[in-house]
Structure 1
Amino acid sequence: MVSIEEALKIISNQPVNLKTETRELSKCPGFSLSEEIRAPFDMPAFDNSAMDGYALCGISKEYNIVGEVAAGDKSDYKLKEGEAVRIFTGASVPENSTAVIMQEKTKVEVSKLILEQVPNEGQCIRRRGGELKKDQLVFEKAYTITPAGIGLIGSLGIEKVEVFKKPKINLITTGNELIEPGKEKAAGQIYESNSYALASACEQYGFSINGKEQIKDDFQAIKSGIRKSLKSSDVLILSGGISVGDYDFVKQALEENGVEELFYKVFQKPGKPLYFGKKADKYIFALPGNPASSLSCFYVYVLPFLYKLSGSQKDGLKQFNVPISHDFENKADRPVFLKANLVNNHVVILNGQGSSMIQSMALGNALVFLNAETSVKKGENVSCLLIS
């Protein structure tokens, strides 16, 4: 058995072989860059108007209107003192433009422009290179591409980018008692939900499931399922069958498939029977079957490793130290991850902390970490992972 810190260190120290691919820009959200991006030109590429109005030459309250420039037009105007042109947002400002005045602060009498107030030099003009200079670093390698990042990359004229591939993930759940939702449930059976929860958790953080399978508590079937799944995945996640019961066959099935155990069992609650192993460049997490245990282990251990395999700068969930809203005592002899709700910068530990209880996790948005046999008073800071 290892400590939480030891387990996390073993996971984070694993060498990974990052693979790259070229993707169209529209298909890049959530992927991490495998190379830096630099600006191919100044941005903006030319001085342009920040709004609809008039480009002015000189500082005055009256100007002669000598023309018009629309967005996309090439401006051939070279303004003289006291001259103005009608201009629209994004249009190139003429040479010698001192400022742009918004149309709402003007009135026009024939070809005469009259301003409500004297403009400031340079106002409402977006200067060339004001956002980025040519060859300036835009994004570092490993930047995780956001919607705003997509917009910026597109504005640089880049249609394809080099990114790190995301790992192929397979899910296996085990248990004789499990049936699919929608089927009629007999006595002693329960609806299988872990594969849905784990797949959803993966997708929430930008990962997709390559395939999933539900297998009965049969050693040969589990062994065969693991062997087949390892061929088509980079990461195999199993749920159930990893404890020490008579029908817990996962650990032995992994061993007989040549998987090297990196650790088994973590000194924590919930999720003590957690397994982590590898075979060549493939990695295996065997999670407990209890729903809250399974999801908690995913958030704490699996997700950071998925980020690492995808070349991301992220290393897991956001962690906060926030005050607790009430007194609480952890009487357990192990460190605990507690289902909680973070509201208005205070955290409340919820009822229903059993490892099989998923409702409290569904209603909460955080996990609170407390050491063994620890008491905290209202207002004291506790460590908190934000899960939604």
Structure 2
Amino acid sequence: MISIEQALKIVEQQEIERKTSDVDLDDSHGFYLSEKISSPFDLPSFDNSAMDGYAVSGIYDYYEIVGEIAAGDTSEKSLQSGEAMRIFTGAKIPSNTTAVVMQERTNEEDSVLHVDERISEGQHIRRQGNELALGETVFAPGHLISPASVGLIGSLGLNRVTVFKKPDVRIISTGNELIPPGESKSEGQIYESNSYALQSALNRFGFECREKTHIKDDFSAVKSGIAEYLDRSDVLLLSGGISVGDYDFVKQALEENGVTQLFYKIFQKPGKPLYFGRKENKFVFALPGNPASSLTCFYIHVLPLLQRFSGAAETGLQRLSIPISHEFEYGSERPIFLKAHVDNQTVSILNRQSSSMIHSMAMGNALVFFDGPKSVPEGEIVEVILI
């Protein structure tokens, strides 16, 4: 059995064969860039108006209005001292413009513009290259493409980007007692939920489950199912069958499929019987069957590997140090991840902490981590992991 820190280090130290792909800008959100993006031109590429108003030449109380410039007008226009042109947001500034005056600060009468404010040279003008200069680095490799990133990349005229491919992930759940939701349940049967939770967790962080299946507790079936799914996966997630019961065949089936064990069993609660293995450039996590254990292990140990595959420089979930809203006592020697809810900059540890109970995790949005026995008063700062 190893510590949480040792397990995380083993995951972090794995050499990963990252793959790249060109994707359409429309599909790029949530990917990490694999290549630098530099600005192909100055942004803005010309001086333009920051608002609707008037371009004026010189600083006077009134101007002669000599024309109008709409956004998208590509003609070359010029002002003489004392002249003004009606201009709209984004339109190209005529040469010899001193400033743009807001429409609300003016009065127009018989083609004469009267200005109701003191004019400052350069006001309300977006200067060429003010945001980005030609050749300037816009994004470095490893940048996570956000909606704003998509907008900026599009403003540079790029409709495709080169990104790190996300890993192919597949899920196998095991257990004779499990049946799919929607079927009639008999005494002794349980609805299978872990694969659904894991698939949703993948989606939550921008990943996709390519396939999932359920296999009964039969060694030959488990072995052949692992062989089939492992062949098509970068990361294979198994749920259940990894403990030491008579019908827990997953570990042996992985070994007979040529998977090398990197660790098995972690000194933590929940999620002690977690298995991590590798076969060439393919990785396997065999997760505990208890629902809360399965999701906790995904959040803490699986997600960082998936993020590394995707090109992320920093991995794992956001961690905070915030006060607890109530007294709490924990007596076990094992480090523990407790289901919790963060609200108004404090955290509350929820009831129903058993590894078989997922209701409290569904009601929560965080895990509180204690590295051993704790007795904390209300208001003490605790470590929180946002999920």
Q: TM-score, normalised by structure 2?
A: 0.99
Equivalences, count:
387
**1:309 & 1:234 partners in 2: Cα distance?**
9
State the one-letter code of the partner of 1:81: S
Alpha-carbon distance in 2 for matches of 1:312, 1:336: 27
Q: Determine what percentage of the aligned residue pairs are the same residue.
A: 60
Residue 217 of structure 2 aligns to which amino acid in structure 1?
D
Question: Gaps spanning 5+ residues in structure 1: where?
Answer: none
**Where in structure 2 are the equivalents of 1:310-325 lying within 5 Å?**
310-325=310-325
The answer (yes or no) to whether the contact 1:144–1:313 under 8 Å persists in 2 is no
Q: Which residue of 2 aligns with 1:98?
A: 98
Residues 246-266 of structure 1 show CA distances to partners (whole Å, capped at 9, x for unaligned) of 111100110110100000000
Offset of residue 276 of structure 1: 0.2
Distance (Å, rounded) in 1 between the aligned partners of 2:289 and 2:60: 76
Letter in 2 for 1:348: S
* 1:97 positional shift: 0.7
The C-alpha deviation readout for 1:97-146, integer Å capped at 9, x for no partner, is: 11111112111111100111122111111000010011111001010101
Q: Secondary structure at the match of 2:184?
A: coil
**Equivalence map 1:221-300=2 (5 Å):** 221-300=221-300
Partner of 1:144: 144
* Equivalent in the alignment of 1:195: 195
* Map of 1:365 onto structure 2: 365
Take 1:234 and 1:370, find their aligned partners in 2: how far apart are those partners? Answer: 32
- Cα-to-partner distance string for 1:68-91 (whole Å, 9 max, x where unaligned): 111111242221111000101100
Aligned to 1:25: 25
TM-score normalised over the length of structure 1: 0.99
Q: What SS class does the counterpart of residue 354 from structure 1 fall into?
A: coil
What is aligned with 1:216?
A: 216
- Tell me the CA shift for residue 314 of structure 1: 3.3
- CA–CA distance in 1 between the matches of 2:17 and 2:376? 43
Q: For each residue in 1:157-201, what CA deviation from the matched residue of structure 2 results, as whole angstroms up to 9, or x when unmatched?
A: 011111001000000000101111111001111111101100000
Find the counterpart in structure 2 of residue 124 from structure 1. 124
Aligned residue number for residue 160 of structure 2 = 160
Q: How does 1:106-121 map to 2 (within 5 A)?
A: 106-121=106-121
Q: 1:287, CA displacement in angstroms?
A: 0.4
In structure 2, what is the Cα distance between the partners aligned to 1:380 and 1:77?
66
Match of 1:69 in 2: 69
Q: Distance in 2 between matches of 1:381 and 1:75?
A: 63
Q: CA deviation at 1:379?
A: 1.3
Determine the C-alpha separation between the residues in 2 that align with 1:202 and 1:284: 15
Tell me the residue number matched to 1:379.
379
Where does 1:36-55 land on structure 2 (aligned, <5 Å)?
Answer: 36-55=36-55
- How far apart, in 2, do the equivalents of 1:61 and 1:288 lie? 77
In 2: Cα distance, 1:364 partner to 1:324 partner = 14
The unaligned stretches of length 5 or more in structure 2 are none
CA distance in 1, matches of 2:202, 2:50: 42
**Which amino acid in structure 2 is aligned with residue 297 of structure 1?**
C
Matched, 1:58 2:58: yes
Asked if 1:80 is matched to 2:80, the reply is yes
Q: How many angstroms apart in 1 are the aligned matches of 2:226 and 2:108?
A: 78
Q: Is the 8 A contact 1:48 1:90 kept in 2?
A: yes
